[in-house]
Protein backbone atom coordinates (compact mmCIF):
# COMPACT_ATOMS: atom_id res chain seq x y z
CA UNK A 1 0.00 0.00 0.00
CA UNK A 2 2.82 2.42 0.87
CA UNK A 3 4.45 1.67 -2.48
CA UNK A 4 1.21 2.48 -4.33
CA UNK A 5 0.80 5.72 -2.38
CA UNK A 6 4.38 6.65 -3.20
CA UNK A 7 3.78 6.10 -6.92
CA UNK A 8 0.59 8.20 -6.76
CA UNK A 9 2.43 11.05 -5.05
CA UNK A 10 5.20 10.95 -7.66
CA UNK A 11 2.61 11.16 -10.43
CA UNK A 12 0.87 14.10 -8.69
CA UNK A 13 4.16 15.97 -8.34
CA UNK A 14 5.04 15.27 -11.99
CA UNK A 15 1.76 16.82 -13.13
CA UNK A 16 1.76 19.66 -10.62
CA UNK A 17 -1.24 18.31 -8.72
CA UNK A 18 0.52 18.24 -5.36
CA UNK A 19 1.07 21.98 -5.52
CA UNK A 20 -2.45 22.77 -4.33
CA UNK A 21 -2.56 19.91 -1.85
CA UNK A 22 0.36 21.57 -0.08
CA UNK A 23 -1.12 25.05 -0.10
CA UNK A 24 -4.78 25.87 0.49
CA UNK A 25 -6.28 28.42 -1.89
CA UNK A 26 -6.56 32.03 -0.82
CA UNK A 27 -10.20 33.08 -0.85
CA UNK A 28 -11.06 36.76 -1.32
CA UNK A 29 -14.63 38.00 -0.89
CA UNK A 30 -16.12 41.06 -2.56
CA UNK A 31 -19.48 42.62 -3.39
CA UNK A 32 -18.02 44.07 -6.59
CA UNK A 33 -18.73 42.61 -10.02
CA UNK A 34 -17.08 42.03 -13.37
CA UNK A 35 -18.95 43.59 -16.27
CA UNK A 36 -17.01 42.16 -19.21
CA UNK A 37 -13.48 40.78 -19.47
CA UNK A 38 -12.77 42.67 -22.68
CA UNK A 39 -9.78 44.97 -23.05
CA UNK A 40 -11.62 47.14 -25.59
CA UNK A 41 -15.04 47.16 -23.92
CA UNK A 42 -14.66 47.25 -20.15
CA UNK A 43 -14.16 50.29 -17.97
CA UNK A 44 -14.87 49.35 -14.38
CA UNK A 45 -12.81 48.54 -11.33
CA UNK A 46 -13.24 44.79 -10.88
CA UNK A 47 -13.02 43.91 -14.56
CA UNK A 48 -9.70 45.75 -14.76
CA UNK A 49 -8.64 44.19 -11.44
CA UNK A 50 -9.02 40.72 -13.01
CA UNK A 51 -7.37 41.73 -16.28
CA UNK A 52 -4.34 43.38 -14.68
CA UNK A 53 -3.76 40.39 -12.39
CA UNK A 54 -3.66 38.08 -15.40
CA UNK A 55 -1.56 40.03 -17.89
CA UNK A 56 0.79 42.98 -18.15
CA UNK A 57 1.46 46.17 -20.07
CA UNK A 58 4.59 47.96 -21.19
CA UNK A 59 4.88 49.75 -17.85
CA UNK A 60 3.39 49.43 -14.37
CA UNK A 61 3.25 51.11 -10.98
CA UNK A 62 5.71 49.82 -8.44
CA UNK A 63 3.41 48.78 -5.54
CA UNK A 64 5.92 50.01 -2.96
CA UNK A 65 7.08 53.32 -4.45
CA UNK A 66 4.12 54.03 -6.81
CA UNK A 67 6.65 55.06 -9.44
CA UNK A 68 6.42 54.02 -13.08
CA UNK A 69 8.71 51.07 -13.79
CA UNK A 70 9.06 48.59 -16.60
CA UNK A 71 6.62 45.71 -16.88
CA UNK A 72 6.82 43.87 -20.21
CA UNK A 73 9.28 46.56 -21.25
CA UNK A 74 12.58 46.56 -19.40
CA UNK A 75 13.45 50.09 -20.59
CA UNK A 76 12.44 52.81 -23.04
CA UNK A 77 13.69 55.86 -24.88
CA UNK A 78 11.78 59.08 -25.54
CA UNK A 79 12.58 61.34 -28.49
CA UNK A 80 13.57 64.93 -27.79
CA UNK A 81 10.24 66.23 -29.15
CA UNK A 82 8.27 63.85 -26.88
CA UNK A 83 6.50 62.21 -29.82
CA UNK A 84 8.27 58.85 -30.13
CA UNK A 85 8.53 56.23 -27.38
CA UNK A 86 10.74 53.22 -28.10
CA UNK A 87 10.16 50.30 -25.73
CA UNK A 88 12.72 47.52 -25.27
CA UNK A 89 10.93 44.36 -24.16
CA UNK A 90 12.16 41.74 -21.76
CA UNK A 91 13.51 38.75 -23.67
CA UNK A 92 11.71 35.40 -23.81
CA UNK A 93 8.32 36.61 -22.56
CA UNK A 94 5.47 34.16 -23.16
CA UNK A 95 1.70 34.06 -22.80
CA UNK A 96 -0.11 31.24 -20.99
CA UNK A 97 -0.92 29.63 -24.32
CA UNK A 98 2.78 29.28 -25.14
CA UNK A 99 2.86 32.06 -27.75
CA UNK A 100 5.77 34.50 -27.54
CA UNK A 101 5.08 37.98 -26.18
CA UNK A 102 7.28 40.11 -28.37
CA UNK A 103 7.00 43.38 -30.26
CA UNK A 104 4.58 41.89 -32.80
CA UNK A 105 2.18 40.78 -30.05
CA UNK A 106 2.37 44.21 -28.39
CA UNK A 107 1.53 45.93 -31.67
CA UNK A 108 -1.26 43.46 -32.42
CA UNK A 109 -2.83 43.91 -28.98
CA UNK A 110 -2.78 47.69 -28.93
CA UNK A 111 -3.86 48.04 -32.56
CA UNK A 112 -6.74 45.61 -31.93
CA UNK A 113 -7.91 47.43 -28.80
CA UNK A 114 -7.82 50.81 -30.54
CA UNK A 115 -9.62 49.42 -33.60
CA UNK A 116 -12.43 47.72 -31.65
CA UNK A 117 -12.91 50.68 -29.24
CA UNK A 118 -16.05 49.38 -27.54
CA UNK A 119 -18.88 51.67 -26.43
CA UNK A 120 -18.40 50.65 -22.79
CA UNK A 121 -14.61 50.64 -22.83
CA UNK A 122 -11.84 52.97 -21.71
CA UNK A 123 -10.00 53.06 -25.03
CA UNK A 124 -10.32 56.86 -25.02
CA UNK A 125 -7.53 56.91 -22.45
CA UNK A 126 -5.01 55.92 -25.15
CA UNK A 127 -6.58 56.13 -28.61
CA UNK A 128 -6.43 59.92 -29.14
CA UNK A 129 -2.74 59.97 -28.28
CA UNK A 130 -1.36 57.08 -30.35
CA UNK A 131 -0.68 57.82 -34.02
CA UNK A 132 1.20 54.69 -35.04
CA UNK A 133 2.77 51.53 -33.60
CA UNK A 134 5.75 49.93 -35.34
CA UNK A 135 7.75 46.75 -34.76
CA UNK A 136 11.44 47.68 -34.87
CA UNK A 137 12.72 44.18 -34.17
CA UNK A 138 11.39 41.13 -32.27
CA UNK A 139 11.87 42.80 -28.87
CA UNK A 140 11.55 46.50 -29.75
CA UNK A 141 8.33 48.38 -30.41
CA UNK A 142 8.02 52.06 -31.31
CA UNK A 143 4.93 54.13 -30.52
CA UNK A 144 4.52 57.49 -32.25
CA UNK A 145 2.11 59.96 -30.65
CA UNK A 146 -0.19 62.53 -32.22
CA UNK A 147 0.95 65.07 -29.67
CA UNK A 148 3.45 65.24 -26.81
CA UNK A 149 1.91 63.68 -23.73
CA UNK A 150 3.51 64.22 -20.34
CA UNK A 151 1.53 61.34 -18.83
CA UNK A 152 1.91 58.76 -21.60
CA UNK A 153 3.95 56.33 -19.49
CA UNK A 154 1.02 56.29 -17.05
CA UNK A 155 -1.50 55.78 -19.85
CA UNK A 156 0.39 52.82 -21.25
CA UNK A 157 0.72 51.16 -17.83
CA UNK A 158 -1.05 48.08 -16.49
CA UNK A 159 -3.39 50.37 -14.53
CA UNK A 160 -5.24 50.93 -17.82
CA UNK A 161 -7.25 47.98 -19.10
CA UNK A 162 -6.94 49.24 -22.68
CA UNK A 163 -3.13 49.15 -22.44
CA UNK A 164 -2.85 45.51 -21.41
CA UNK A 165 -1.23 43.02 -23.78
CA UNK A 166 -2.72 39.64 -24.71
CA UNK A 167 -2.03 36.74 -27.05
CA UNK A 168 -2.83 36.85 -30.79
CA UNK A 169 -2.97 33.04 -30.65
CA UNK A 170 -5.93 32.84 -28.25
CA UNK A 171 -7.75 36.19 -28.31
CA UNK A 172 -10.37 36.69 -31.06
CA UNK A 173 -9.15 39.26 -33.57
CA UNK A 174 -12.38 41.04 -34.44
CA UNK A 175 -14.75 40.61 -31.50
CA UNK A 176 -14.55 41.55 -27.84
CA UNK A 177 -12.58 39.04 -25.78
CA UNK A 178 -15.25 38.39 -23.13
CA UNK A 179 -12.80 36.32 -21.11
CA UNK A 180 -11.26 34.50 -24.07
CA UNK A 181 -7.61 35.58 -23.98
CA UNK A 182 -4.19 34.54 -22.74
CA UNK A 183 -1.98 36.90 -20.77
CA UNK A 184 1.52 37.03 -19.35
CA UNK A 185 0.67 36.60 -15.64
CA UNK A 186 1.37 36.72 -12.77
CA UNK A 187 -1.82 34.64 -12.75
CA UNK A 188 -3.73 32.65 -15.34
CA UNK A 189 -7.48 33.04 -15.42
CA UNK A 190 -8.79 29.54 -14.70
CA UNK A 191 -12.52 30.24 -14.58
CA UNK A 192 -14.99 33.08 -14.33
CA UNK A 193 -18.64 32.53 -13.48
CA UNK A 194 -20.60 35.83 -13.61
CA UNK A 195 -21.81 37.06 -10.21
CA UNK A 196 -20.25 34.03 -8.50
CA UNK A 197 -16.47 33.75 -8.61
CA UNK A 198 -13.16 34.17 -10.40
CA UNK A 199 -10.44 31.52 -10.12
CA UNK A 200 -6.76 32.18 -10.73
CA UNK A 201 -3.70 29.95 -10.90
CA UNK A 202 -0.15 31.25 -10.71
CA UNK A 203 1.50 31.29 -14.15
CA UNK A 204 4.81 29.45 -14.02
CA UNK A 205 6.11 31.41 -17.02
CA UNK A 206 5.72 34.81 -15.38
CA UNK A 207 8.89 36.88 -15.70
CA UNK A 208 8.74 38.35 -12.19
CA UNK A 209 8.67 36.96 -8.66
CA UNK A 210 6.26 34.06 -8.29
CA UNK A 211 2.98 34.94 -6.55
CA UNK A 212 2.99 34.06 -2.87
CA UNK A 213 -0.22 32.03 -3.24
CA UNK A 214 -0.63 29.68 -6.18
CA UNK A 215 -4.41 29.34 -6.26
CA UNK A 216 -6.74 32.28 -5.61
CA UNK A 217 -10.53 32.36 -5.64
CA UNK A 218 -12.48 35.61 -5.59
CA UNK A 219 -16.05 35.03 -4.44
CA UNK A 220 -18.77 37.58 -5.14
CA UNK A 221 -21.30 38.23 -2.40
CA UNK A 222 -24.74 39.75 -2.74
CA UNK A 223 -24.19 42.55 -0.25
CA UNK A 224 -21.95 43.89 2.49
CA UNK A 225 -23.79 42.02 5.25
CA UNK A 226 -23.15 38.71 3.51
CA UNK A 227 -19.51 39.70 3.02
CA UNK A 228 -19.10 40.45 6.71
CA UNK A 229 -20.79 37.17 7.69
CA UNK A 230 -18.40 35.27 5.38
CA UNK A 231 -15.22 36.72 6.90
CA UNK A 232 -16.52 36.27 10.45
CA UNK A 233 -17.37 32.63 9.73
CA UNK A 234 -13.93 32.01 8.24
CA UNK A 235 -15.41 31.15 4.83
CA UNK A 236 -13.09 33.67 3.20
CA UNK A 237 -9.60 34.90 4.08
CA UNK A 238 -9.96 38.50 2.85
CA UNK A 239 -12.96 40.86 2.61
CA UNK A 240 -12.47 43.75 0.21
CA UNK A 241 -14.92 46.11 -1.54
CA UNK A 242 -17.21 46.83 0.07
CA UNK A 243 -18.07 46.62 3.75
CA UNK A 244 -20.81 48.66 5.39
CA UNK A 245 -19.57 51.73 7.27
CA UNK A 246 -21.21 50.51 10.50
CA UNK A 247 -19.56 47.12 10.04
CA UNK A 248 -16.16 48.75 9.56
CA UNK A 249 -16.52 50.57 12.89
CA UNK A 250 -17.57 47.43 14.76
CA UNK A 251 -15.20 45.00 13.02
CA UNK A 252 -12.22 47.09 14.07
CA UNK A 253 -12.94 45.87 17.61
CA UNK A 254 -13.13 42.15 16.80
CA UNK A 255 -10.13 40.18 18.06
CA UNK A 256 -10.40 37.40 15.46
CA UNK A 257 -10.14 39.85 12.54
CA UNK A 258 -7.64 42.38 11.28
CA UNK A 259 -9.31 45.42 9.71
CA UNK A 260 -7.61 48.49 8.30
CA UNK A 261 -8.83 51.55 6.43
CA UNK A 262 -6.10 53.00 4.22
CA UNK A 263 -6.50 56.75 3.74
CA UNK A 264 -6.48 59.21 2.13
CA UNK A 265 -8.64 57.79 -0.63
CA UNK A 266 -8.24 58.87 -4.25
CA UNK A 267 -11.59 57.25 -5.03
CA UNK A 268 -14.50 59.61 -5.50
CA UNK A 269 -18.27 59.43 -5.90
CA UNK A 270 -20.17 61.93 -7.96
CA UNK A 271 -23.30 62.66 -9.94
CA UNK A 272 -23.20 62.90 -13.74
CA UNK A 273 -25.49 64.59 -16.24
CA UNK A 274 -26.16 63.78 -19.85
CA UNK A 275 -25.83 67.38 -21.00
CA UNK A 276 -27.65 66.64 -24.28
CA UNK A 277 -30.79 65.25 -22.62
CA UNK A 278 -33.65 67.48 -21.43
CA UNK A 279 -34.07 68.96 -18.89
CA UNK A 280 -30.37 68.53 -18.11
CA UNK A 281 -29.34 70.21 -21.36
CA UNK A 282 -30.02 73.44 -19.46
CA UNK A 283 -26.91 74.35 -17.47
CA UNK A 284 -28.97 76.38 -14.95
CA UNK A 285 -30.87 73.22 -14.03
CA UNK A 286 -27.57 71.46 -13.44
CA UNK A 287 -26.25 74.42 -11.44
CA UNK A 288 -29.37 74.45 -9.26
CA UNK A 289 -28.92 70.79 -8.39
CA UNK A 290 -25.33 71.60 -7.43
CA UNK A 291 -26.57 74.07 -4.82
CA UNK A 292 -29.30 71.76 -3.53
CA UNK A 293 -27.34 68.57 -2.84
CA UNK A 294 -26.30 67.96 0.79
CA UNK A 295 -22.91 66.22 0.93
CA UNK A 296 -22.57 66.41 4.70
CA UNK A 297 -25.88 64.66 5.23
CA UNK A 298 -24.86 61.84 2.90
CA UNK A 299 -21.53 61.29 4.64
CA UNK A 300 -22.99 61.35 8.15
CA UNK A 301 -26.26 59.47 7.65
CA UNK A 302 -25.09 56.86 5.15
CA UNK A 303 -21.38 56.47 5.86
CA UNK A 304 -21.13 57.19 9.59
CA UNK A 305 -18.64 59.96 8.90
CA UNK A 306 -16.04 57.60 7.37
CA UNK A 307 -16.51 59.09 3.91
CA UNK A 308 -15.88 62.81 3.56
CA UNK A 309 -17.45 65.54 1.35
CA UNK A 310 -15.55 66.73 -1.73
CA UNK A 311 -15.98 69.88 -3.82
CA UNK A 312 -13.84 69.05 -6.83
CA UNK A 313 -13.19 65.96 -8.92
CA UNK A 314 -9.41 66.00 -8.33
CA UNK A 315 -8.55 64.23 -5.05
CA UNK A 316 -6.84 66.36 -2.45
CA UNK A 317 -4.03 63.81 -2.21
CA UNK A 318 -0.45 64.93 -2.69
CA UNK A 319 1.64 63.23 -3.93
CA UNK A 320 0.96 62.16 -6.64
CA UNK A 321 -2.01 64.43 -7.41
CA UNK A 322 -1.66 68.18 -7.70
CA UNK A 323 -3.83 71.10 -8.68
CA UNK A 324 -6.89 70.11 -6.66
CA UNK A 325 -9.14 73.17 -6.34
CA UNK A 326 -12.38 72.91 -4.30
CA UNK A 327 -14.37 75.02 -6.73
CA UNK A 328 -17.93 73.73 -6.23
CA UNK A 329 -20.16 75.75 -3.89
CA UNK A 330 -21.44 74.68 -0.50
CA UNK A 331 -25.14 73.98 -0.12
CA UNK A 332 -27.46 76.94 -0.68
CA UNK A 333 -31.17 76.12 -1.10
CA UNK A 334 -32.12 79.74 -1.76
CA UNK A 335 -29.67 79.91 -4.67
CA UNK A 336 -30.97 76.61 -6.03
CA UNK A 337 -34.56 77.91 -6.03
CA UNK A 338 -33.48 81.20 -7.59
CA UNK A 339 -31.81 79.43 -10.52
CA UNK A 340 -34.80 77.16 -11.06
CA UNK A 341 -37.20 80.09 -10.97
CA UNK A 342 -35.14 81.81 -13.68
CA UNK A 343 -35.77 78.92 -16.07
CA UNK A 344 -39.47 78.57 -15.25
CA UNK A 345 -39.64 76.04 -12.43
CA UNK A 346 -41.50 76.74 -9.18
CA UNK A 347 -43.74 75.00 -6.65
CA UNK A 348 -46.64 75.02 -9.11
CA UNK A 349 -44.46 73.82 -11.97
CA UNK A 350 -41.75 71.68 -10.34
CA UNK A 351 -38.73 70.17 -12.02
CA UNK A 352 -39.63 66.47 -12.30
CA UNK A 353 -36.57 64.29 -12.78
CA UNK A 354 -35.17 60.78 -12.30
CA UNK A 355 -32.07 59.91 -10.31
CA UNK A 356 -30.49 56.65 -11.42
CA UNK A 357 -28.25 54.42 -9.30
CA UNK A 358 -27.00 50.86 -9.36
CA UNK A 359 -27.87 48.87 -6.23
CA UNK A 360 -24.88 46.54 -5.67
CA UNK A 361 -21.82 47.69 -7.59
CA UNK A 362 -20.82 50.27 -4.97
CA UNK A 363 -21.96 48.23 -1.99
CA UNK A 364 -25.29 47.99 -0.20
CA UNK A 365 -25.38 51.67 0.84
CA UNK A 366 -26.21 52.98 -2.63
CA UNK A 367 -29.99 53.04 -2.22
CA UNK A 368 -29.55 54.94 1.06
CA UNK A 369 -27.25 57.49 -0.57
CA UNK A 370 -29.71 57.98 -3.43
CA UNK A 371 -32.56 58.45 -0.93
CA UNK A 372 -30.63 61.16 0.96
CA UNK A 373 -29.83 62.94 -2.30
CA UNK A 374 -33.48 62.78 -3.34
CA UNK A 375 -34.51 64.30 0.00
CA UNK A 376 -31.97 67.10 -0.21
CA UNK A 377 -33.09 68.07 -3.72
CA UNK A 378 -36.77 67.97 -2.78
CA UNK A 379 -36.11 70.31 0.16
CA UNK A 380 -36.07 73.09 -2.44
CA UNK A 381 -39.81 72.64 -2.86
CA UNK A 382 -39.21 72.99 -6.61
CA UNK A 383 -37.75 69.56 -7.49
CA UNK A 384 -39.46 66.18 -7.48
CA UNK A 385 -37.20 63.14 -7.80
CA UNK A 386 -38.05 59.57 -8.73
CA UNK A 387 -35.38 57.01 -7.87
CA UNK A 388 -34.57 54.45 -10.56
CA UNK A 389 -32.09 51.59 -10.39
CA UNK A 390 -30.44 49.08 -12.73
CA UNK A 391 -27.91 46.32 -12.18
CA UNK A 392 -24.38 47.25 -13.16
CA UNK A 393 -24.19 45.57 -16.56
CA UNK A 394 -27.38 47.21 -17.78
CA UNK A 395 -26.33 50.46 -16.10
CA UNK A 396 -23.10 50.76 -18.10
CA UNK A 397 -24.96 49.96 -21.31
CA UNK A 398 -27.55 52.65 -20.55
CA UNK A 399 -24.78 55.16 -19.90
CA UNK A 400 -23.15 54.48 -23.25
CA UNK A 401 -26.48 54.83 -25.07
CA UNK A 402 -27.32 58.12 -23.35
CA UNK A 403 -30.47 56.82 -21.69
CA UNK A 404 -29.91 58.33 -18.24
CA UNK A 405 -30.10 62.06 -17.63
CA UNK A 406 -28.83 62.19 -14.03
CA UNK A 407 -27.04 59.30 -12.39
CA UNK A 408 -24.55 58.30 -9.72
CA UNK A 409 -21.13 56.90 -10.52
CA UNK A 410 -17.80 56.25 -8.84
CA UNK A 411 -14.24 56.75 -10.00
CA UNK A 412 -11.03 54.99 -9.14
CA UNK A 413 -7.74 56.16 -10.62
CA UNK A 414 -6.75 54.70 -13.96
CA UNK A 415 -3.45 56.49 -13.59
CA UNK A 416 -2.22 58.71 -10.80
CA UNK A 417 -2.47 62.15 -12.38
CA UNK A 418 -5.15 64.89 -12.19
CA UNK A 419 -6.12 64.70 -15.87
CA UNK A 420 -7.58 61.26 -15.16
CA UNK A 421 -10.20 63.02 -13.01
CA UNK A 422 -11.03 65.72 -15.56
CA UNK A 423 -10.73 64.34 -19.09
CA UNK A 424 -12.70 61.04 -19.22
CA UNK A 425 -16.19 62.59 -18.97
CA UNK A 426 -15.39 65.70 -20.99
CA UNK A 427 -12.94 64.87 -23.79
CA UNK A 428 -11.88 61.23 -23.66
CA UNK A 429 -14.97 59.04 -23.21
CA UNK A 430 -17.98 61.36 -22.88
CA UNK A 431 -20.34 58.96 -24.65
CA UNK A 432 -19.37 55.69 -22.96
CA UNK A 433 -19.47 57.48 -19.59
CA UNK A 434 -22.86 58.98 -20.37
CA UNK A 435 -22.24 62.73 -20.24
CA UNK A 436 -22.34 63.29 -24.01
CA UNK A 437 -20.22 66.34 -23.27
CA UNK A 438 -18.89 66.18 -26.83
CA UNK A 439 -22.20 67.85 -27.75
CA UNK A 440 -21.70 70.71 -25.27
CA UNK A 441 -20.85 74.15 -26.72
CA UNK A 442 -17.73 74.32 -24.55
CA UNK A 443 -16.38 70.90 -25.54
CA UNK A 444 -13.65 72.31 -27.79
CA UNK A 445 -12.44 74.64 -25.03
CA UNK A 446 -12.03 71.75 -22.60
CA UNK A 447 -10.29 69.71 -25.27
CA UNK A 448 -7.80 72.48 -26.04
CA UNK A 449 -6.99 73.18 -22.38
CA UNK A 450 -6.50 69.52 -21.56
CA UNK A 451 -4.34 68.92 -24.63
CA UNK A 452 -2.06 71.79 -23.60
CA UNK A 453 -2.03 70.60 -19.98
CA UNK A 454 -1.13 66.99 -20.69
CA UNK A 455 1.67 68.05 -23.05
CA UNK A 456 3.16 70.40 -20.44
CA UNK A 457 5.99 68.79 -18.48
CA UNK A 458 6.18 71.54 -15.84
CA UNK A 459 3.71 70.44 -13.15
CA UNK A 460 3.22 73.97 -11.76
CA UNK A 461 2.01 75.21 -15.16
CA UNK A 462 0.00 72.04 -15.67
CA UNK A 463 -1.72 72.52 -12.30
CA UNK A 464 -2.92 75.99 -13.35
CA UNK A 465 -4.55 74.55 -16.46
CA UNK A 466 -6.21 71.83 -14.40
CA UNK A 467 -7.48 74.53 -12.05
CA UNK A 468 -9.05 76.30 -15.05
CA UNK A 469 -10.94 73.12 -15.98
CA UNK A 470 -12.23 72.78 -12.42
CA UNK A 471 -13.47 76.38 -12.44
CA UNK A 472 -15.15 75.93 -15.82
CA UNK A 473 -16.88 72.76 -14.63
CA UNK A 474 -18.75 74.75 -11.98
CA UNK A 475 -20.42 76.71 -14.78
CA UNK A 476 -20.98 73.80 -17.16
CA UNK A 477 -21.66 71.12 -14.51
CA UNK A 478 -21.10 67.87 -16.37
CA UNK A 479 -20.57 66.43 -12.88
CA UNK A 480 -21.17 67.17 -9.21
CA UNK A 481 -18.41 65.82 -6.93
CA UNK A 482 -19.98 64.37 -3.77
CA UNK A 483 -17.74 62.34 -1.45
CA UNK A 484 -14.40 60.54 -1.12
CA UNK A 485 -14.75 56.76 -0.93
CA UNK A 486 -12.82 56.02 2.24
CA UNK A 487 -14.93 52.93 2.99
CA UNK A 488 -13.60 51.21 -0.13
CA UNK A 489 -10.08 51.53 1.23
CA UNK A 490 -11.05 49.08 3.97
CA UNK A 491 -9.80 45.49 3.95
CA UNK A 492 -10.50 42.82 6.56
CA UNK A 493 -8.49 39.62 6.90
CA UNK A 494 -8.21 36.62 9.15
CA UNK A 495 -5.26 36.89 11.56
CA UNK A 496 -3.12 34.41 9.60
CA UNK A 497 -3.34 36.39 6.33
CA UNK A 498 -0.55 38.79 5.35
CA UNK A 499 0.16 41.22 2.53
CA UNK A 500 -3.41 42.44 1.96
CA UNK A 501 -2.82 46.17 1.82
CA UNK A 502 -4.61 48.83 -0.23
CA UNK A 503 -2.46 51.48 -1.89
CA UNK A 504 -3.37 54.68 -3.65
CA UNK A 505 -4.43 52.70 -6.73
CA UNK A 506 -7.30 51.54 -4.45
CA UNK A 507 -6.52 47.91 -5.22
CA UNK A 508 -4.99 44.96 -3.42
CA UNK A 509 -2.16 43.10 -5.11
CA UNK A 510 -3.24 39.48 -4.89
CA UNK A 511 0.21 38.16 -5.86
CA UNK A 512 1.56 39.55 -2.56
CA UNK A 513 -1.10 38.02 -0.29
CA UNK A 514 -0.51 34.75 1.54
CA UNK A 515 -1.64 32.93 4.63
CA UNK A 516 0.29 30.95 7.18
Per-residue model confidence (pLDDT) at position 22:
54
First to last CA, the chain: 32
The CATH number covering residue 339 comes to 3.10.105.10
Give the pLDDT mean for 468-474: 97
Instruction: Indicate whether 171 and 218 sit together in one domain.
Output: no
Query: What DSSP line would sit under 307-321, residue for residue?
Result: SEE-SSSS---TTT-
Would you state the pLDDT for residue 319?
A: 64
Quote the CA–CA distance of 495 and 276 in Å, as a whole number: 52
> pLDDT by residue (tens digit) across 110-160?
999 999 999 889 898 999 999 999 999 999 999 999 999 999 999 999 999
* pLDDT number for residue 504: 83
Determine what percent of the chain is predicted with pLDDT higher than 70: 95
Q: Is the whole model's pTM more than 0.85, yes or no?
A: no
Q: Is 99 helix (H, G, I), strand (E, B) or coil?
A: coil
Tell whether 103 and 206 lie within a shared domain.
no
Same domain, 397 and 448: yes
Q: What is the mean pLDDT of residues 174-192?
A: 97
What is the span of the domain harbouring residue 230? 189-264+488-515
Alpha-carbon 198 to chain mean position: 18
User: In whole angstroms, what is the distance from residue 442 CA to residue 439 CA?
Assistant: 8
pLDDT confidence of residue 4: 39
Residue 409 maps to a domain: yes
Helices 333-342 and 283-292: crossing angle in degrees, nearest 10, is 160
Alpha-carbon span 478 to 496, nearest angstrom: 46
Question: CA 344 to CA 304: how far, in whole Å?
Answer: 38
Question: Based on the structure, what is the number of domains in the chain?
Answer: 3
Q: Is residue 19 part of a domain?
A: no
Looking at the domain assignment, is residue 27 inside a domain?
no
- The pLDDT of residue 64 is 77
Identify the domain boundary among 152, 181, 210: 181
Residue of 313, 329, 278, 509 lying closest to 411 (CA atoms)? 313
- Domain assignment present for residue 14? The answer is no
Q: What does the alpha-carbon distance between residue 361 and residue 411 come to, in Å, rounded to a whole number?
A: 12
Q: Are residues 296 and 429 in the same domain?
A: yes
Write out pLDDT tens, residues 43-63.
899 999 999 999 999 999 887
- Does a structural domain hold residue 25? no
pLDDT tier for residue 364 given thresholds of 50, 70 and 90: confident
Same domain, 203 and 295: no
Q: Per-residue pLDDT for 276 more than 70?
A: yes
Q: Which of 181, 204, 234 is the last residue of a domain?
A: 181
Residues 6+ apart with CB under 8 A from 416: 61, 66, 154, 159, 266, 320, 321, 504, 505
For residues 306 and 316, what is the distance between their CA atoms, to the nearest angstrom?
16
Tell me if 71 is assigned to some domain: yes
Regarding whether 439 and 363 lie in a shared domain, the answer is yes
Give the CA-trace dihedral at 94, 188, 42, 91, to 10 degrees: -20
Whether 440 and 452 share a structural domain: yes
Which of these, 163, 99, 103, 87, lies nearest to 138 by C-alpha position? 103
Do 222 and 175 lie in one domain? The reply is no
Alpha helices in 431-487 (DSSP H): 443-454, 459-476
Torsion of CA 499, 417, 427, 276, to 10 degrees: 70
Task: For residues 192-214, give the mean pLDDT.
Answer: 97
CB 474 within 8 Å of CB 329: yes
Whichever domain contains 224, its CATH number is 3.40.190.10
Q: What pLDDT, on the 0 to 100 scale, is given for residue 318?
A: 66
Query: What are the pLDDT digits (tens) for 69-121?
Result: 999 999 999 999 999 999 999 999 999 999 999 999 999 999 999 999 998 89
- pLDDT value of position 369: 97
Shared domain check, 110 and 156: yes
Angle, CA of 433, 239 and 61, to the nearest 5°: 55
| 366, 480: one domain | yes
pLDDT at residue number 219: 98
- Judgement on whether residues 356 and 234 belong to the same structural domain of the protein: no
Q: How confident is the model at residue 264 (pLDDT cuts 50, 70, 90)?
A: confident
Task: Output the average pLDDT for the chain.
Answer: 92
> What pLDDT is stored for residue 210 in this prediction?
96
CATH classification at residue 73 = 3.90.76.10
**480 and 501 part of one domain:** no
140 in any annotated domain: yes
The closest alpha carbon to 48, from 513, 505, 512, belongs to 505
Question: Among residues 414, 447, 472, which one has the least CA distance to residue 128?
Answer: 447
Nearest to 178 by CA among 333, 35, 358: 35
| pLDDT tens digits, one per residue of 285-300 | 999 999 999 999 999 9
**Model confidence pLDDT, tens digit, residues 380-398:** 999 999 999 999 889 999 9
Is residue 225 assigned to a domain? yes
Amino acid sequence: MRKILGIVLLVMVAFGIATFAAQAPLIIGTTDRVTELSFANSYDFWSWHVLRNTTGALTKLDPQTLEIVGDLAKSWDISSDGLVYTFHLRPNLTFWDGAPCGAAAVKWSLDRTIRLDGPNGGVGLIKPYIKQIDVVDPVTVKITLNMPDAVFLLRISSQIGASLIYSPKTTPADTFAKGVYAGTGPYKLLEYVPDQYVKYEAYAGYYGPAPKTKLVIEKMYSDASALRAAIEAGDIDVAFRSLNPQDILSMEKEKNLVLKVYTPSPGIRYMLFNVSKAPFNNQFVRQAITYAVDRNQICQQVFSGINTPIYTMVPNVDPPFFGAFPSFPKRDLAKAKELLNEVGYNAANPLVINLWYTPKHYGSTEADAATVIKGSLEETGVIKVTLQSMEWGAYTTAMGKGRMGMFLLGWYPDYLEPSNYLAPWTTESPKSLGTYFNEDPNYEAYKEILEVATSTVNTTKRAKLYKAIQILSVQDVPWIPLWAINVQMAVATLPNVHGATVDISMDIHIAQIYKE
